C-alpha cells in the first residue's frame, strides 16, 4: 500500500521513519520516498490494511510540528566533502565487526581499538576536567525506577524487559527436558515466565539518581561518570550500526545546584567542539529533542527545544546520506532530584548529563575516514597511533607480572 506525504522536512521524515518501525507487526517493511512524496508499506498476509492506514495517519500527525516552534540552533558546524564509503560492509569484510543477532555486534581489531580510544579521550578530557567520580552500574534496572523516571510514558517502544522462568519444579523440568529432547525454541517461554520486574537499562544515568535517593548534597553538588551496556529495541531500525539494540553508553553526570550543572554543561560543550575540530569531523552541534513516542510528542519536543534541554553532536554518515547523534548534552532541571528526594542546600537538586554512544562513534569515524589510519585526519591518526603504541607496551608487561 502507498500513502501520500504532505510534509518533506528532513527532521519530520527522520522521526516518521523511526516511528513507523513500531506501528504494527503486520508491517513487513516500508520505504519513504521523499522525491515521490510517498510512503510504501509492505504488509504481511492477512494484515488489516485499513487499521495500518489509520495508524500511519496517527504517526504522520503526531510528528507534524508545523504549529509549534521547533527551532534548531546550530552552535557549531564543520562540513567536509567525503566519499560515500560503506563502513558496515568494510567492517564485516575485515572481520572488525560480526553481527551476533538483531542489533547485536561484536567489535574487534581497529574497530575495538577506536572504541577504546574514544573511551580514553572521555576519561582524559572530560572526567579529568570535572573531577568526575567513577561509578559502576548493573546492566539491568528496576522497572519501578524507570516508571519513577517517567520513562515508560515517553519511550515505551524501545524497552527490553527481563524475566526468568517461574520458580516451579514442573516448569523448570519441562523447559530443560524440552531443550534436551527437541532443542530450544521461543515457544518454550510461552506461559512459563515469571512476572517481569527488571528491564535492561535504556540509558546510563538513571542508576545514578536512584542510588542517591534521599541524599543531601553540599553545594555545589557532585559529578560522577559511568559506562553502561544499554538496550533499546528499535524494530526494523536495526540496520548497520546506527541503531543497535545492545550498545555502550558513557556518561558524565552532574547533580546539584543549577549554576553548577549549567556551567559544567557549557564547559563540556566547548570541549566536545574542540574534539570535533581536532579530529576534523564532518558534523553539527545543535539543539535537538528526544523521540518521545507519545501522542503529545510535539508539545514535549517543542518544550525541550525551547529550553535547549538537549543538544547533540551529529556526525555525518555519507553512505547513508544522513547524520547520527553520537554525543548529547542534557539538562533535566529538578526532574530526578524531586523523583528521588535528592537535595542540595535544602532545595531539590537539579541534574544534567553528557553522553556518548560508543559504537556510533566507531561507525561514523570509519564511515567518514575509511579503514587506513595513515589516511585519517592528523589529529585522529596521532591519537590513535599513540594509543595503540601505549597499549602494546603496557599490555604484555602487565601480563608478565607474576601472580
Ligand atoms: Zn543521562
The owner of cell 519511550 is 155
| Domain-located, residue 190 | yes
Asked whether the beta carbons of 381 and 374 are under 8 A apart, the reply is yes
pLDDT at 67: 62
Q: Are 193 and 171 in contact (CB under 8 A)?
A: no
Same domain? 149 vs 176: no
Ligand 1 centroid to Cα of residue 149, in Å, is 12
**Residue 310 belongs to a domain:** yes
- Are residues 269 and 376 both part of a single domain? yes
CA of 357 from ligand 1 middle (Å) equals 11
As a whole number of angstroms, the distance between CA 329 and CA 403 comes to 43
- Residue 402 confidence (pLDDT): 47
* DSSP states of 296-362: THHHHHHHHHHTT-EEEEEEEEGGGTEEEEEEEEEEEETHHHHHTT-EETTEEPEEEEEEEEHHHHH
Cell 543538544 identifies what position? Answer: 311
**Are residues 22 and 32 in contact, defined by beta-carbon separation less than 8 angstroms?**
no
Distance 385 CA to ligand 1 centre (A): 31
Q: Structural domain tally of the chain?
A: 3
Interval between CA 249 and ligand 1 midpoint (Å): 9
Whether 172 and 310 share a structural domain: no
- Report the C-alpha dihedral over residues 148, 149, 155, 156, rounded to 10 degrees: -20
Contact 154, 300 (CB under 8 A): yes
Examine the domain organization and report whether 212 and 191 are in the same domain: no
Measured in Å, residue 340 CA sits from the centre of ligand 1 at 15
Ligand 1 center from residue 204 Cα (angstroms): 6
Cα(278) to ligand 1 centroid in Å equals: 25
CA atoms of 253 and 402, how far apart (whole Å): 38
Q: How far is the CA of 251 from the centre of ligand 1 (A)?
A: 6
Distance CA 236, CA 310 (A): 26
397 in any annotated domain: no
Alpha carbon distance 264, 223 (integer Å)? 9
- What is the sign of the dihedral through the CA atoms of 198, 15, 284 and 259? negative
175 in the same domain as 247: no
Distance 26 CA to ligand 1 centre (A): 34
Place of cell 503486520: 26
Note whether residue 388 is domain-resident.
no
Asked, for residue 303, whether it belongs to a domain, the answer is yes
Examine the domain organization and report whether 146 and 178 are in the same domain: no
* Residue 25, domain member (yes or no): yes
Residues 34 and 109 occupy one common structural domain: no
Separation of CA 250 and ligand 1 centre (Å): 9
- Residue 242: CATH number of its domain: 3.30.930.10
Place of cell 544515568: 205
Residue 67 half-sphere exposure toward CB, CA atoms < 13 A: 7
Query: In angstroms, what is the span from residue 364 Cα to ligand 1's centroid?
Result: 21
Q: Are residues 98 and 221 in the same domain?
A: yes
Domain that holds residue 189: 165-198
Contact yes or no for 121/113 (Cβ under 8 A)? no
Closest CA to 118 of 323, 272, 290, 316: 272
351 and 251 assigned to the same domain: yes
Q: Which residues contact 302 (CB under 8 A, 6 or more apart)?
A: 65, 68, 69, 70, 289
Domain contains 207: yes
Same domain flag for 280 and 173: no
Q: Please indicate, yes or no, whether the overall pTM of this predicted structure exceeds 0.75.
A: yes
User: 24 alpha carbon to ligand 1 midpoint, in Å?
Assistant: 30
CA of 345 to the centre of ligand 1 (A): 23
> Among 62, 84, 102, where does a domain finish?
62
Q: In this structure, are 119 and 255 located in the same domain?
A: yes
Between the CA of 70 and the centroid of ligand 1 the distance, in Å, is 23
Q: What is the Cα–Cα distance from 259 to 308, expressed in whole angstroms?
A: 15
Tell me the C-alpha distance between 336 and 150, whole Å.
10
Ligand 1 centroid, distance to 206 Cα (angstroms):
7
Q: Do 275 and 376 form a contact (C-beta atoms < 8 A)? A: no
Model pLDDT, residue 392? 74
C-alpha cell at 182: 527437541
Whether 402 is covered by a domain: the verdict is: no
Q: What is the reported pLDDT for 66?
A: 67
Ligand 1 centroid vs 142 CA: distance in angstroms?
A: 17
Q: How many A from CA of 205 to the centre of ligand 1?
A: 4
Question: Could you list the pLDDT tens digit for every one of the 403 residues in the chain?
Answer: 999 988 878 778 888 888 888 888 888 888 888 888 899 999 999 999 999 999 888 888 888 766 666 677 899 999 999 999 999 999 999 999 999 998 999 999 999 999 999 999 999 999 999 999 999 999 999 999 999 998 998 888 889 999 999 999 999 999 999 999 999 999 999 999 999 999 999 999 999 999 999 999 999 999 999 999 999 998 767 677 888 999 999 999 999 999 999 999 999 999 999 999 999 999 999 988 887 777 777 777 777 777 778 999 999 999 998 899 999 999 999 999 999 999 999 999 999 999 999 999 999 999 999 999 999 999 999 999 999 999 876 554 444 444 4
pLDDT computed for residue 373 by the predictor: 95
Q: What is the C-alpha separation between 372 and 319, in angstroms, rounded?
A: 17
Q: Clarify whether residues 184 and 269 are in a common domain.
A: no
C-alpha 351 – ligand 1 centre gap (Å): 9
User: How far apart are the CA of 237 and the centre of ligand 1, in A?
Assistant: 22
CA distances from 80 to 244, 248, 255, 270, 282 (A): 26, 27, 37, 20, 5
Amino acid at each position: 500500500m502507498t500513502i501520500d506525504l504532505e510534509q518533506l522536512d528532513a527532521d519530520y521524515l527522520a522521526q516518521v521513519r523511526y516511528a513507523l518501525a513500531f506501528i504494527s507487526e503486520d508491517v513487513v517493511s516500508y520505504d519513504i520516498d521523499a522525491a515521490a512524496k510517498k510512503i510504501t508499506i509492505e504488509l504481511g498476509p492477512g494484515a488489516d490494511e485499513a487499521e495500518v492506514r489509520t495508524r500511519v495517519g496517527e504517526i504522520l500527525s503526531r510528528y507534524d510540528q508545523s504549529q509549534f516552534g521547533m527551532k534548531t540552533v546550530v552552535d557549531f558546524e564543520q562540513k567536509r566533502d567525503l566519499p560515500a564509503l560503506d563502513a558496515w560492509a568494510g567492517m564485516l569484510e575485515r572481520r572488525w565487526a560480526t553481527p551476533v543477532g538483531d542489533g547485536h555486534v561484536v567489535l574487534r581489531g581497529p574497530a575495538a581499538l577506536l572504541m577504546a580510544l574514544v573511551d580514553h579521550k572521555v576519561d582524559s578530557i572530560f572526567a579529568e576536567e570535572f573531577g568526575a567520580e567513577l561509578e559502576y552500574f548493573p546492566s539491568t534496572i528496576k522497572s519501578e525506577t524507570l516508571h519513577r523516571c517517567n520513562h515508560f510514558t515517553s519511550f515505551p517502544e524501545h524497552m527490553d524487559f527481563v524475566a526468568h522462568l517461574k520458580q516451579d519444579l514442573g516448569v523448570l523440568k519441562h523447559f530443560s527436558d524440552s531443550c534436551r529432547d527437541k532443542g530450544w525454541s521461543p515457544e518454550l517461554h510461552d506461559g512459563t515466565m515469571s512476572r517481569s520486574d527488571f528491564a535492561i537499562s535504556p540509558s546510563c544515568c538513571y542508576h545514578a539518581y536512584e542510588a542517591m535517593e534521599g541524599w543531601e548534597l553540599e553545594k555545589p553538588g557532585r559529578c560522577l561518570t559511568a559506562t553502561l551496556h544499554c538496550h533499546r529495541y528499535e524494530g526494523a531500525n536495526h540496520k548497520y550500526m546506527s541503531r543497535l539494540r545492545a550498545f555502550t553508553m558513557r556518561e558524565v553526570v552532574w547533580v546539584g545546584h543549577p549554576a553548577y550543572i549549567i556551567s559544567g554543561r557549557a564547559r563540556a560543550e566547548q570541549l566536545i567542539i574542540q574534539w570535533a575540530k581536532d579530529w576534523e569531523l564532518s558534523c553539527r552541534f545543535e539543539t535537538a529533542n528526544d523521540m518521545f513516542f507519545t501522542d503529545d510528542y510535539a508539545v514535549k519536543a517543542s518544550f525541550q527545544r525551547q529550553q535547549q534541554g538537549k543538544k547533540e553532536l551529529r556526525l555525518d554518515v555519507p553512505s547513508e546520506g544522513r547524520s547520527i547523534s553520537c554525543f548529547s548534552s542534557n539538562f533535566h532541571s529538578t526532574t530526578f532530584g524531586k523523583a528521588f528526594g535528592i537535595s542540595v542546600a535544602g532545595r531539590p537538586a537539579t541534574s544534567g548529563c553528557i553522553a556518548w554512544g560508543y559504537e556510533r562513534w566507531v561507525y561514523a569515524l570509519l564511515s567518514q575516514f575509511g579503514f587506513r589510519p595513515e589516511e585519517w585526519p592528523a589529529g585522529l591518526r596521532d591519537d590513535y597511533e599513540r594509543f595503540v603504541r601505549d597499549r602494546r607496551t603496557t599490555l604484555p608487561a602487565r601480563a608478565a607480572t607474576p601472580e
